[in-house]
Amino acid sequence: MVTKAGFILATGHTRWRSGAVARTHEQLPPEHRITLHEGLAVTAYFCPASGTLLGLDVHERAARPPEDAVLDLTSFERLWQEEALRQHNVSAHNEGEDNGSD
């Protein structure tokens, strides 16, 4: 996962938060006029190269924000390659069949 600035946040998986700069706050700045419930915090994630805000999570103060979805992209790539090989083998088999009638 790469930011617009070209900074690599994650490779082979979608856990990009671990590569971002994280700042956790128990209250938002007063100018936002948003009060968090007691026990909640907000974590903002920024691109380390540009400082661009990448995401914002509201979560329990004692808990780390969970990943939205964790995909093992290396497994996906392997499965995709296996499917492409299977399709190739099916095509080769079909081309080798005798399509004439008896």
Q: Give pLDDT tens digits for 74-84.
A: 776 677 777 77
For the chain, the residue count is 102
Q: What are the boundaries of each domain within the chain?
A: 16-68
DSSP 31-87: GG---PPTTEEEEEEE-TTT--EEEEEEEETTSPPPPS---BHHHHHHHHHHHHHHH
In this prediction, what percent of the chain has a pLDDT beyond 70?
A: 86
**Cα–Cα distance measured from residue 73 to residue 51, given in angstroms and rounded to the nearest whole number:** 26
Q: Give pLDDT tens digits for 29-62.
A: 999 999 999 999 999 999 999 999 999 999 999 9
What mean pLDDT do residues 1-16 have? 91
